[in-house]
């Protein structure tokens, strides 16, 4: 299995000759490279930092996502609508031959006066390893996973919450995602805290540059 981070929440997962990409959005500097040759695209929720029409158009691949995103695609990019398959929380999928479980149904609360957006994460099974992308939520996968793609900074999250989420999932390897909200200086603090506390639990925490593999 190969995991490549392509900026912010966008991650490409390759296994046995098949590549899937999750959340190619507006904060992904090279979304075209991220989606190049993929067999499928998974989108967690409707916010632009997790998908854009241009990113989806850069791949000639099916799209799996929740109903709220499918509606936005019909509104903003109707030419893509026929490529969309709507998924529901708890559903078990086979995406280009890879087993995928749909996890959770709500975005983390940004502010009580804002709408509570829908969000579903995905557990990808690649041979005997599982990878979990939660989207913008701190909802556990409900199964043991080998790699957690962990949000580390967001308007809806404190660093302490992110650390405790990663601790609760207990994936042996934790790859930082959702990291375009902080400056490089602030991300140094993130690395220090996540690394310290997850390291105490025997969990490996890493943050990779855009385009780098786990």
Tokens of 38: 């993929």
Instruction: Say if 192 falls within a structural domain.
Output: yes
| CA–CA distance, 132 with 146 (Å, rounded to integer) | 8
pLDDT in tens, 150-190: 999 999 999 999 999 999 999 999 999 999 999 999 999 99
> How many distinct structural domains can be found in the chain?
1
Give the domain CATH number at 16.
3.60.15.10
| CA–CA distance, 162 with 183 (Å, rounded to integer) | 17
pLDDT attached to residue 190: 95
Tokens of 157: 């999250």
pLDDT in tens, 5-43: 999 999 999 999 999 999 999 999 888 899 999 999 999
The band of 67, judged by pLDDT with boundaries at 50, 70 and 90, is very high
pLDDT average, residue stretch 122-130: 97
End-to-end CA distance of the chain: give it in Å, rounded.
Answer: 10
Instruction: Say if 10 falls within a structural domain.
Output: yes
Q: Do the bridges between strand 129-133 and strand 121-126 make them parallel or antiparallel, or are there none, so unpaired?
A: antiparallel
The domain of 187 spans 2-206
Instruction: Say if 213 falls within a structural domain.
Output: no
Instruction: Say if 184 falls within a structural domain.
Output: yes
The mean predicted confidence, pLDDT, of the chain is: 96
| Entry pTM | 0.96
Task: Find out whether 159 and 190 touch, Cβ atoms under 8 Å.
Answer: yes
Instruction: Say if 212 falls within a structural domain.
Output: no
Instruction: Say if 214 falls within a structural domain.
Output: no
pLDDT attached to residue 79: 96
pLDDT attached to residue 122: 98
């Amino acid at each position: 299995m190969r995991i490549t981070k392509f900026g912010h929440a966008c991650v490409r997962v390759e296994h046995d000759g098949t590549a899937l990409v999750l959340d190619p959005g507006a904060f992904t500097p090279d979304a075209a490279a991220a989606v190049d040759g993929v067999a499928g695209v998974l989108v967690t929720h409707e916010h632009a930092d997790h998908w854009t029409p241009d990113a989806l158009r850069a791949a000639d691949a099916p799209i799996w996502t929740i109903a709220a995103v499918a509606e936005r695609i019909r509104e903003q990019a109707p030419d893509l609508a026929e490529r969309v398959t709507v998924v529901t929380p708890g559903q078990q999928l086979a995406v280009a031959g890879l087993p995928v479980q749909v996890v959770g149904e709500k975005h983390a609360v940004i502010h009580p006066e804002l709408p509570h957006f829908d969000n579903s994460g995905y557990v990808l099974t690649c041979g005997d390893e599982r990878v979990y992308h939660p989207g913008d939520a701190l909802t556990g996968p409900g199964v043991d996973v080998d790699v957690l793609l962990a949000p580390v900074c967001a308007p809806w999250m404190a660093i302490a919450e992110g650390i405790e989420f990663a601790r609760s999932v207990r994936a042996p390897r934790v790859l930082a995602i959702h990291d375009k909200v902080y400056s490089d200086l602030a991300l140094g603090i993130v690395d220090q805290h996540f690394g310290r506390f997850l390291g105490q639990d025997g969990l490996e925490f890493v943050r990779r540059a855009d385009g780098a593999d786990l």
